[in-house]
Structure 1
């Protein structure tokens, strides 16, 4: 099968595992305390509004973010609850769970979307106030936008570097690298073996890390179109323009992925790849094994046309 004929699969690192998503299904594989691999399967959840928006350029990015946050958080919640539980404790855990599965899924999905939006607002407004402190020295709108973007980039890189020093996040970043390696192996028509996958790059053009960096770059150009003074208007503009920046950044990400095989244009995606040097780490063989298991399980389910109406755990 040629690269052009292959379906585009995406993924996400979770705690002690990897989630992969196809057109209709999502599968997570995690490494349990006893070294066994456990799977969690779910159908992609969407609605008519999001489905319609995903067909419209500049709006499809926002719809994709909301959908990915809602679906991905459900799998992240599964991994955080299960990875450090010994299989002998499974029955006890099940007895302690009293919540309705539907209410739990809806609650986790809502938290995922709200957490993303809250984080985006913070990373948008903090640089605004920091840049405004320099107005006595740099008064022009151009200078203020450049300084604001600099603070935003500094905040982003500092935050990523800081959390990457914690043991838990470091392992998540290793699984992130394993996820990219598996996708690269699949798209390059390589065998999905640990040795073959490890030989692949841990960087990928479609990564969400690249998207985050593009929001900084795209935002800088968008903010040049609106005034930076007075401060209250600047804050209102930044909040109002969040959907615009997200939508444009998604289109830039899609463009860089499409031209990545064109020698003259592939450099457009390099800034995002450079950021992935922070958000991914070289995985160990056992982590790659989990990523491969997750991806192969997704392929198996999709090839069989299996339908899952809710979350399903498979040991």
Structure 2
């Protein structure tokens, strides 16, 4: 036996950029997060070639899950062509050799910032959400040690009080993105800065959702067919953004989540936030044989 036989040839980086030890740790924490839905799991967040707060948590999870046959899709607030999405997609393809796509139906691994695609995800797809702040209690309890104890005791009274005060002062819940939600009837989580429109998409979904915060060094998960219920009072219904009557000025798509584009004359145009869906609608209108999957919403109503 020689020393050379026990070692590998030098390589500039490990497959998928992260070293084997980092991947094993993240896999263990992902399994724990799946076993206890909504519960935050700490992990040793590694350095990646991206600034903290720009998706390092989601990138580490994606690097851990990717393999040469994984088809990758990356979106940023619904868009496939933004700088953040394009950079992460190019990086993942370079370090893994995996193919990339912008089609939600073709993707195996979808990494997203602030949005969930409008087309329903299948059981064989994995959604990775970037999370800047995974702690839902931060706004009511800045001391994280006490917040951890509150999670352990399922003590979410301050969260309910915060929502009650918003209703008393404004007549409705003012919480927009990152709406606190109860997972599996036990842990309250913040579902990343996705809009209220997207939170119902996590409820009893077929796909696995992994939420990771690299800067905060924590991840949590929503396994398939798990209850995700926004915190609401019995007599105050949960309301999503009222986009049912809006029409995309480019594609003509209607009844989906829209981006508002202010105009110089003070008016506004609207564009469907899910850029891939908008492109499909345009191509179908031009006569191309494009497949559009079943969407979560129809005319602004959850199907």
TM-score, length of structure 2 as denominator length = 0.28
Whose strand fraction is larger, Structure 1's or Structure 2's? 2
Whose helix fraction is larger, Structure 1's or Structure 2's? 1
Higher relative contact order (CA 8 A, sep 6+): 1
